[in-house]
Amino acid sequence: MRLGWERVRWFVFGERLPTARAIHERLPKSLALPVFASDAISSSAYATEEIVLALVVAGSAALGYSIGVAAAICLLFAVVAVSYRQTVLAYSSGGGAYTVARENLGTMAGLVAAGALLTDYVLTVAVSIAAGVAAIISAVPSLRQERVVLCILCIAVITVANLRGARESGKLFAGPVYLFVGVCLLMIGVGGVRLLVHGVETARPLMPTEPMPAIGILLLLRAFASGCAALTGIEAISNGVPAFRPPESRNAAATLLWMAGICILLFAGITALAQGYHLIPDSRGPETLLSMLGRAVFGSGFLYAVLQAATAGILILAANTSFADFPRLSSILARDGFAPHQLANLGDRLVFSNGILLLGVFSSVLIAIFRGHTHALIPLYAVGVFLSFTLSQTGMVIHWRRLRTPRWRLKAAVNGFGAMVTATVLVVVASAKFIHGAWIVLLLVPLVVMAFLRIASHYRRLAAALSLEGYQAPRTVRHTVLLLVPGVHRGVVQALAYAKTIATDCQAVFVEIDPRDTGKIQQQWQGLKTGVPLTVLKSPWRSLTEPIIRYIRTIKTERKVDAVTVIVPEFVTTRWWHKLLHNQAGLLLKFALMFEPGVVVTNVRYRPEA
């Protein structure tokens, strides 16, 4: 009996799954890695370029510092990864920065981290998809006109894949991620061996060897900050611990270390190779540093094409990390009462469907507003990332101080060092990029936090208002039924039978829109001999609802009635277009009586045999 919408749902989203199967939907490490790490790994595609571009303003000789800066970032990456590993082991229920900051630094800090992360996830989807589509359009320029459509199509595909469930989306996304890692490692290996064997001569010597210039600390900091783009996405695993197979924490920690290793290896290898080949990217040109490197190592043949395709693929899939994390974080917020409860509902396929849909909609809107040109959004999300890093790691310091587990001083020192560095990066990025858009995030995060607080206050007040503590249940003493009579027919007779069943005190009311109808209705009603009186309510303005509301108020005060049930007879139409042929009186009346205390509107449906 799978009909219409059910059949479509089944085809697109797959067989729905019982709650008991939740444990089987968990991800093994080999699939969790591509699901959670695609964002972080994809950063390797552009982080080196960011450093080089920041340094090159001081002259091409300054590029010699790039190895040093990259080393510092690798160190930072390792420190943050170790810190997050400690978090993953300490917090097995997920939540990452939000949970850690909330437990150790208080609710506000937690909500700030959550607001920053949610904002980031939306930005990440928009930016990654737009970048991936830009790569496709560079290859097939005839698609240029369809940029926005392509972006939204990509988002739709990823949304559906995620609605099908975590396991399937892991399978779908594993290919491109592993391909990108593989082809990059191959490039680093081949290029490195060539450099060792043949020396720099094999590469195109673009840069004369001159002594490295003395450059300012500020420039180095800026280069460092730019390169920190490599760290975006590192927190993904800490939010997604519950999606791992048990033992969740240990598996997540292992996956985190694998991810960190891969990222550091790719980032360091690409930076060293670029330095070895003396490559300088042109900030205004169309070619990326990674593409230059690929051509230098592989030539312009098949392997170069694979590299470019894999880069485009992983950039689009970086969005998938957000699709794994946004719904999970918002479900945790919903459980804690800071976000709409519906975000905590498990869908047919045991994923947080509402969160997935919300992210798809938000990012599509962002893409549509910016018409697919989202480069301006890139600096925005570094701010959010480092804000949540800082809060999370500061929280961990408090955590260790509180628990005083073995070696807590060392652990606290590691986290504290990380917090200090990320706080510095946060300040540098936020001030350097303030007028380029960082102000948007600094405005948006407080707004999101305010929304969290208002939602929480609504749920809290509702819970108080619903509390049974000291509550005296009302006793309904007098109950009366008003039967709305639109005309005299079988449907009304059935509704009258129901009305007599639920109350002894019934009366019928007819709203007189056209005075010429009244006589006939009254006559027909008397012919029925129901024993129930018919009251005619005049309606000089042809409104159905107003006379009824007035009449209800009158009988409630005059006859001291506590509860009034208004019965609206209604046809059940078997075809959708039949609905258009009838007035939606029941709906209108329901809406109008929404705020009338002590009134219940009941539709009694009649299904004509025709």
Binders in 495-554 for a second copy, by CB under 8 A? 496-498, 500-503, 513-515, 528, 540-542
The least distance separating a second copy from the CB of residue 202, rounded to whole angstroms, comes to 57
The least distance separating a second copy from the CB of residue 191, rounded to whole angstroms, comes to 52
283: number of Cβ within 10 Å: 10
The least distance separating a second copy from the CB of residue 271, rounded to whole angstroms, comes to 47
Residue selected from 60, 138, 522, 603 as contacting a second copy according to rule CB under 8 A: 603
CB 386 within 8 A of CB 111: no
Q: What is the DSSP letter of 235?
A: T
503: number of Cβ within 10 Å: 16
Exposure letters 200-232 (e unless 16+ CB within 10 A, then b): eeebeeebeeeeeeebeeeebbbbbbbbbbbbb
Contacts of 150 (CB under 8 A, 6+ apart): 133, 136, 137, 143, 372
The least distance separating a second copy from the CB of residue 495, rounded to whole angstroms, comes to 9
Minimum CB distance to a second copy smaller for 6 or for 287: 6
Radius of gyration of the chain (CA): 32
Minimum CB distance to a second copy smaller for 514 or for 558: 514
The residue among 577, 571, 567 whose CA lies nearest residue 532 is 567
Q: What is the DSSP letter of 511?
A: E
The reply to whether 465 sits near a second copy by the rule CB under 8 A is yes
Sites for a second copy among residues 331-350 (CB under 8 A): 340-342, 345-348
Minimum CB distance to a second copy smaller for 64 or for 486: 486
Minimum CB distance to a second copy smaller for 201 or for 609: 609
The reply to whether 479 sits near a second copy by the rule CB under 8 A is yes
Q: For 270-323, give the DSSP string.
A: HHHHHHHTT----TTSS--HHHHHHHHHHTTSHHHHHHHHHHHHHHHHHHHHHH
The reply to whether 491 sits near a second copy by the rule CB under 8 A is yes
Minimum CB distance to a second copy smaller for 208 or for 474: 474
Minimum CB distance to a second copy smaller for 23 or for 610: 610
The least distance separating a second copy from the CB of residue 469, rounded to whole angstroms, comes to 10
Size of interface with a second copy, in residues (CB under 8 A): 74
Minimum CB distance to a second copy smaller for 135 or for 599: 599
The least distance separating a second copy from the CB of residue 331, rounded to whole angstroms, comes to 13
- Rounded Cα distance between 144 and 294, Å, is 25
Sites for a second copy among residues 578-597 (CB under 8 A): 578, 580-583, 590, 594-595, 597
Longest dimension (CA), the chain: 111
> Between 19 and 58, how does the x/- string for binding to a second copy read (CB under 8 A)?
xx--------------------------------------
Taking the C-alpha atoms of 573, 578, 583 and 586 in order, what is their torsion angle to the nearest 10 degrees? 20
Minimum CB distance to a second copy smaller for 148 or for 604: 604
The least distance separating a second copy from the CB of residue 528, rounded to whole angstroms, comes to 7
